[in-house]
Structures are given as C-alpha cells and as structure tokens.
Structure 1
Amino acid sequence: MSSTLFPRYDSLQKSFGTAHGPALTHRSAVARVPVPEIRPELCVAYSVVDDAKDKAKKLSDEAAKEFEKGIAAAKPKKQTIELYSGKYYAACTFGGMLACGLTHTAVTPLDLVKVRRQVDSSLYKSNIQGWGLIYRSEGLRGIMTGWSPTLFGYSAQGAFKYGWYEYFKKTYSDVVGPERAHRYKTSVYLAASASAEFLADIALCPFEAVKVRMQGSLKSPYKGTLDGIRQIMASEGTAGLYKGIYPLWARQIPYTMMKFASFETIVDMIYTRLPGNKNDYSKVVQTGVSFTGGYLAGILCAIVSHPADVMVSKLNAYRKPGEAFGTVISRIYGDIGFAGLWNGLGVRIIMIGTLTGLQWMIYDYFKIFMGFPTTGGAAPPEEKK
C-alpha cells in the first residue's frame, strides 16, 4: 500500500497518543490502562483525511495569493504628475477652463441685465425689474441670452489664463531666484497674471463681441455663437471680431492682475493668522479658504476694472464701421460722462465676487483631485547658509 495512504506519525500522536507517550485519553488516564500502539495499516481512512487536509491547505494558500494579486491588479494605479512639467501645465489649463467656463455661464442672467443697463441706463430701473420684463416677453430662454458665446469664450479664456499664469509664475520666479521671488512675490504675481491675460483675451475677444451684441439688443441679432461669428465676419471681416480688443485688454489685464495678486496675498494672510501650517488643514478647509480669498479678491477686481467694462459694452454696441478707436471712446465718454463709467457697479460686485470665489474654489479643488498643492500660502524658501 502506498505510503500516502498512511497517517504520519505526528498526526497519530495528536489524535491518539501511544502507550509510552504522555498523550492518553481521559478514560485511560483514570484507569491507568496503557493505550495499545496504533497499527498504521488500520488507519487508511485517517491517512486519506489527513492528506486531503494538506492538499486543501495548499490550495487555499495558493488561492489567497492569487486573490491578493487580483486585488492589487484591480486597484487603480496612482497617477503622479511632476510639478511644473508639461502635463502639470496641461492639467492647470483644463482646470482653468472648467473654473471660468462653468461659472461665467451660470451667471449669464446677471451679465445680461448688467450689459443692457450699461448700454442704456434708462432701460431697467433695477435688476429684478429687468429679469421680470425679459421673462415675460421672452421666457427663461430670454434670461439666458448669450450663454453659448459666454461658455465658449470664457472656457477658452480660463484655459489660457490659469495655464499661462502657472507657467509665467514659475518662469519669472526662476529668473529672479527663489529668495527674490519670495521677497517680491507680489510683483511676480502681477507680471505673471498680466502676461497670461494678454494671451487669454486674444482667445476671448471674438466670443465677447458676439456675446455683447446678443445681450446689448432687446432682440438678439444672432441665432447662436457660430451664426454671430459668421455674420460679423461677413459684414466686417476678422477685424470686426477684434475691434474690442484694446478696451478688453484695458478691462481684463488690470482685473486679472488684481484677481491673482490679491488672491495670493489674501490667502497667504489667512494661513499666516491660522495656527499651524497650510498642510495641517483638510482639503475642505483649503478650498474654503480659496473661496473666501477669491470672493474678497473679486470685489477689488470689479472696482478696478468696471470703467473699462462699461466701455467694452458700449463700444461693441455703438462703434461704427471704420471709426477710429480714440474717436469712439471720446464720443461714448461725452455721452455718459464720468458717472456713467460706474453704471451697474453694484451688480457687478456681486457677480464678480461670486464668480471669482467659485472659480478659485473649483480650480483648487481640481488641483487637489490631481494631487497638486492648492494655490497660495506657500512657505518661504529656506535661506542659504
């Protein structure tokens, strides 16, 4: 009979014991009767069971190992993107597109009434009255007039603005060195944001021209964004899409410089006054700080850029074909005066404050999702000994 059919000696010891060993049954120990030695040839059944247990244990161990391998393979691999690499800037570009495109589109009703009041201050007595009149005459679709060029235009602008800002901030910091970059960080923020917005407005301008014309008229002259671009190019050429680029730069570059520099400064001040370091706080707290800093920065942005915003609205609506830029600016200022440059400031503060706060919150949440540190509140570089 094969040896595999017999139990091992240690198994017999555990199960029965021997006459000479200490393992006795309870009854045998009481009676002091020695247990006869177990004959292996009579234990074929025990041999089969014992062998099956060994094989089952081996199979169980192998199955456990395979299961662990399967779990490890099923887990998603953590993607790590090196900071300041091409992929990092591409991710920031996408985050900026989300932050600006979604938020500007969401506040289209506010923007619509603001633009119409800037074009004709006597049109509505208040924002509430404006929305009521538009809704009664055009319905909900009328309140959302201009949403499509807003979505396309500010998605493109946000992508350029945030992506290039991250690039220029790093580049300018490297040029001056880490210690000077920290000492003059506000100057770095201002230079980086101005450079980024200059490029972003080139992407925004054609869509802004369509948006303002759609919103500035009581009845939109275009069916949509593409129809507006087609009609403008047909009647005025490519120059018609960019005739508002100078006032757009005048509005957006100071706006963005204030937006980024003040945001970074405010966030830095918040973390400086909180106990501990920035990294000690949860991601929820960090995005809350981003929203607070963005909202406060947005109020400053609205004040700084509002006169130019009024000019952009007026210029796209009233500039005559071939009319010189200086001529139309003088004509508009002569019509509205200095006080007219501040028409609609209240609603713009609410709109821009909310916009900027939400943009920074979305952008920094996206950075957290990608595994990047949030914007602002960075520790100063260590001094060289």
Structure 2
Amino acid sequence: MTHNTPLSPRPLHHLAAGRRRLVTAAQLRAHGVSAAETSERCRPGGPWQQLLPNVVLLHQGPPTSDERLHAVLLYAARERTVVQNGGENGAGNAGAAAGVPVGVTASVPVQPGREETPPVPAYAEAMITGLAALTLHGFTAAPPLPSLDVIDVLVPRLRRLRTTGCARIVRTTALPTSVQVTGVPVAPVARALADAVAELSDAGVVRRLLTEAVRGGHCEPASVVRELNRARLLSRPHVVDAVDSLVAEGRALAEQRLYRMVREHGLPEPVWNVDLRLPGGPLLGGVDAFWPEHSVALELDTRAHRQREDDALWAQYARKREHLERLGITVVHLTPRKLRDCPEHQAAVVRTALMAAGDREPAAYVVALPR
C-alpha cells in the first residue's frame, strides 16, 4: 500500500443508529464519504437531508425538536477534536476519524507515561438562548419547541458565522457559563430572557415572560434588568412597562419572604412599612420593618439596576442609612436573593442586631408613621 492509497470507507450504520442521526461534514469525510456523494444523497428524494451548512441528518422526514437543537449546536460550535497524543487540534480531523462528532465530548485512550487529558467540552463556545432556552428552562409562557421557526444560539462576537436556516446567531462579548438541560447547553435565564425580548414586540408576551422569571423563582429582577440594560433594551416602551411590572412583582415576593422569615424564625414582630420622622422634624425616610424597642430598622434592596437611576438610588439609600445610624438606629440591609437563598442566615443577622441593642447608647426618639 502506498501513501496515496485512499482509506477504506468506514461503515455509517453506527452513526445512523443513534438517537440523534446527525453528522457533520468532517465526520462523513472521515468515513470515506466524499462531498459529491454527500450532495447526491441529500438531493430531493435521497436518503439524507442537509439541515444546516456542514450538518447532515441521516434520514428523510421532518427533524425532531431534539435533532434541530443539536443541529444548531453542531453548526455553531467551534470544532475542537482530541488527538491521540493527548493534545487538542482546533481544525484537524483526528477526533472525527475516530468516529467522534465534532464539538461533542470525547475521551481518548491514555498513552503509557502520559497524564489523562480532560474531555473536550461539549459544543465548545455555543449554547442555546432566547425563546428555545426559556422553553428548555421550563417556562410555560414560552412557545413549544416545534412551533419555533428559528432557534437562537449564543456564540462569541468574533466567531465567523451567519444566521441561516433554523439557526439564528446571537453574539456576545462575554460568553456566560451555560446550564445543561437534558444534555443541551443553555444560556442562564436572565441572558436567555434578554435575547428573547430583543426579538419580541408583543408587550403582553414580554410581560408574561418577565413575570414568570421572577414568580417561578428562576432569577431575581435585578439580574434580569441588568441583562436588559446590557442589551440596550430599556429604551423600548413596551419593555420599560414590563420591567415596571417585574420590579413590582419582585418586591411583593421579597416582602412575602421577609414576613415568612420573621414568623418562621421566631423574631419579634416589627411594625411594617413605616416612615420614620423626628418629632416635629423632617422625614427621615421609609423602612420595610422597624423594631422601636430595639431601634433597629430593616430595608429591602429591590433596586432594578437601571442605568444611572441605580447610582442615584443607592446614594439616596446611603444618605438615609448614615442619618439613621447617627441617631443611634441600626439599619439592617437585605437583598431579595439573600432572603430566598439563605433565610436562616438573614434571620440570624436580624436577631444579632436586636440582641445588641442593649449594649448601645439609647437612640434618639423617632415617630413611626404608616406609609
């Protein structure tokens, strides 16, 4: 045999027998299938079909939702294959020659005297985002996968890819850490929401998605608004209206968690939602809970992190807190996320502040008025 003798074609039956009968052009070449033969088999009436550039489905008929998701990821993922010396090859076909799908996690036998190389990340530098990601996260307000004409896929900004077929390319300067959902890398909820909202003009749909994100416990309002701000979507009137509803929803949930924390952890009952004022003097500001006997006030930070408003609101909070503490009133500052994730710890923080009241100088007398 000479070096010019072509390799014998490798059988394709093990590829076509998988749950997802998807292959890449590199895989087909590794199995001895030429580009011309691939084109012939993908003609109308042929046994295969080309779903996306360099992605072939080894059967006719409509692809399943699972196949569409993985086809989009195969199209968008950076080709990374493992070579047998334990290194990586960004453009080679060593992994494909071993029958490994491009972009999919692969393990290679360890050579004697060499350390094992970690598996290649599945679908490198690509993840599902937008409405498809929200559906995978379990959003009832998101449409079912079969009804989506396109599937958004998030990739780094400098990747040379174009939107085509059922794959819509969404670019980002900083790729977030994906979440695995049924074996599919999916963008975090806040990022997926921002990418979905960018393509939506229906105010009702936007409001339902944002509300479900908070009410369903997927994420906090601040993280959603932060992503919307990064995407420069807060200038759209229907998005601003939905954000206002989102912030109100988030505050209501945070207050419910606060009431539950006080009740379930045996804290003294405070007076709720009051404005503090010096007798005959100016208004000191509102607080969410106040223990007059202990001179302890509690504030929930439900800021939405909306551009310059965030800095101005934080400065206002800081001035109020400094004023109250000069009067001898301890201010406990809690966030909705802390209340959600570790209520026991937050209850301990409040209890410590209440117990320390006896060791402090008496605070100035203030009047608490209902808001």
TM tier, smaller: under 0.3
Which of structures 1 and 2 has the larger relative contact order (alpha carbons within 8 angstroms, sep 6+)? 1
Per the normalisation by structure 2, the TM-score is 0.23
Task: Decide which structure has the larger Cα Rg and report it.
Answer: 1
Write 1 or 2 for the structure with the bigger share of helix. 1
